[in-house]
Amino acid sequence: MRNWKGERTLTGIKKINLISAVLVSLSLCGGCTLEKAGNSSQDQTVQEDNETEQVKAEKAEKEEINEIHLRDKDSLYENDDDTSVVTMYLTVSKGNSSENTYHTWKEINSYSVYDYEDMGVERYQVAGLLQVGDENGPTQGEVGYGESVPNATVQIRGQTSSQNAQKNYKIELKKNKGTWRGQRTINLNKHMTEGMRFRNKLAYDLIRGIPQMVGLRTQFVHLYVKDNTEESGVKFEDYGIYTQVEQLNKTALKSHGLDSNGQLYKINSFEFYRYEDIIKKEDDAGYDKTAFEKMLEIKGDSDHTKLIDMLTDLNDYSIGIEDVLKEHFDEENIVYWMAFQILMGNVDTQNRNVYLYSPLNSDIWYFIAWDNDGCLMRPEYELRNFSDQNSWEKGISNYWGNILFQRCLKSRSFREKLNDAILDLREYLNKDMLTSKIESYKNVLKPYLYLMPDAEYEPLTSEQYDQIAASLPDEIEKNYQLYLESLETPMPFYIGVPTIDGDKLKFNWDVSYDLDAEDITYSVEVARDYLFQDVIYQNTTLTVPEAEMDLPNAGQYFVRVRATNTSGKTQDAFDYYVTDEGKHYGMKCFYITEDNTVEEDIYEEG
């Protein structure tokens, strides 16, 4: 120790000697225990010097399972080549009746799903040997190489697309017969009704760049088929270009880092109403799986309790939508899913073409995109003079018929989050990026599409193909403007079935809704033709959703209802009449019979 002059003091020297003596004693003592010497500062100093300082670890805050956002597994796509083409060889043969594979390839390609429903039988299958290779043949190391007996079953897939001349196929590799890229289910889609043949793949490739969404793996496939079901010794026949899309099932959930034990439903036709007579638990009286799966196809755990709890709360208007979203949904997931569909113009997503997923131990439901071949279709419909994706099929009005989306969109907070997501994706889906991707797909596909067998069914000429390809990048901005327009327009509504009361024909419809609470007036027209050239009744100043007219004679009639707000924006009803030229919006077709009853003309898919 030094004094204020810097001189070492006697006391300091004594302390140094003392500490040195203690250290020597400790080294000699080894593991012996030393007793404390009262309050000696010297002993305290020694103890502090020998104690090991404990550093507290910084731990991340633990997440609650109901608060996590859905995220894809990026490493799954690391080796993907968006423009590569894989060659597949499929040898089909008759199998056995127990596996429903004792059928011919001709039979497989003759029937649609609607034919099977009429016949009351399961979809026919054939036995198949799937081999993967290149244009020279199957290659070593790939599934099926060197094999000569079936390793799979094959059937058609799709709903309305099953009526097309060129079929889509589902190839199911048998257990212990190998996998292709970790998948046993190989979906091959022809996308015959859209002339570009790459829209579904484009959408999934774009989803990969959106962290808030989960996508699926895709691959262009050149398919060859050898049909041994009726004769042997035939050669492989060229079936043209397909797009393979990963099947969303338990295997896919696991591959994408999700919970393979969770609930997973493919939405076939479902507006999120409670549907108490159909949406039941398996052990409930009257449970009908066939009726259930017409709405929601069960792809995961079959305990529907969580689904029913969500639907019960959603359809209880005493519970605010903010509470429903917090309790049952990941709001980020919904707004980005909807934002993507709106900007891509994928309108056939109001009540189908999406999966509903929930981890087993979570209360939260997530949307996963499915079937995107309707994206960016407006230019092609216009060129082909086909009426579709018009009227209310744009922006938020497209989703108004779904009770979940309708309740969400009535919330200003939800609309603000949706708008933020749309602006985010609008920047991501920029013209330069889309132009580059579309050009690369076009260069891959055109050599196949204008050769047989695809050339026979391609709905576009080569010049039209190039014209539409060049127009697609502009569709994002057009769809954004349609979205803005939908915010200013009254929401669509359904027309009721007309009724007869004495000598009067009465009409009614649901009330329209305006986001800005503007007053709404309705116009009603009744005509003998869907072009409304022969109008027999008209009223354009109605403020209530009902009207009546003198009962006309027996025959076919059309009623058209429109809603207009104070700003002069007009909206059609949800109802439409379908002809070979497409949809005629805002009208309902009905018949008055000779015995004065009303029969509604109902359009059914297929």
pLDDT tens track for 217-253: 999 999 999 999 998 889 999 999 999 999 999 999 9
The pLDDT assigned to 262 comes to: 96
Instruction: Name the residue with higher pLDDT: 30 or 152.
Output: 152
What residue spans define the domains of the chain?
74-252, 263-488, 499-600
The residue-averaged pLDDT of 85-105 equals 97
Rounded to the nearest 5°, which phi and psi values hold at 404? -65, -50
pLDDT tens-place string over residues 388-441: 999 999 999 999 999 999 999 999 999 999 999 999 999 999 999 999 999 999
As a whole number of angstroms, the distance between CA 171 and CA 344 comes to 29
**In angstroms, rounded to a whole number, what is the distance separating the alpha carbons of residues 210 and 474?**
20
We find that the CATH architecture of domain 499-600 is Sandwich (2.60)
Tokens of 604: 């059914």
Beta strands in 311-412 (DSSP E): 354-358, 366-369
Two tokens at 174? 């048998």
Residue 63 has a pLDDT of 85
16-54 burial by CB neighbour count: b if 16+ within 10 A, else e? eeeeeeeeeeeeeeeeeeeeeeeeeeebeebeeeeeeee
Query: What does the block give as tokens for 306?
Result: 């969580």
Average pLDDT of the residues of the chain: 92
Percentage of the chain lying above the pLDDT 70 cut: 91
Q: Which tokens belong to 311?
A: 């639907």
Per-residue pLDDT of 355-367, as tens digits, reads 999 999 999 999 9
Tokens, residue 216 = 């699926």
- List, for residues 171-200, the tens digit of each pLDDT value: 999 999 999 999 999 999 999 999 999 999
List pLDDT tens digits, range 276-325.
999 999 999 999 999 999 999 999 999 999 999 999 999 999 999 999 99
Write out pLDDT tens, residues 509-529: 999 999 999 999 999 999 999
The pTM is what? 0.89
pLDDT > 70? residue 383:
yes
pLDDT for res 23? 37
Q: Answer whether residue 27 shows pLDDT above 50.
A: no
Return the pLDDT at 54: 74
- Confidence at 50, pLDDT banded by 50, 70, 90: low
pLDDT at 224: 98
Cα–Cα distance between 582 and 574 in angstroms, integer? 15
45: tokens are 């100093």
Token readout for 231 is 């004769």
Residue 4, pLDDT above cutoff 90: no
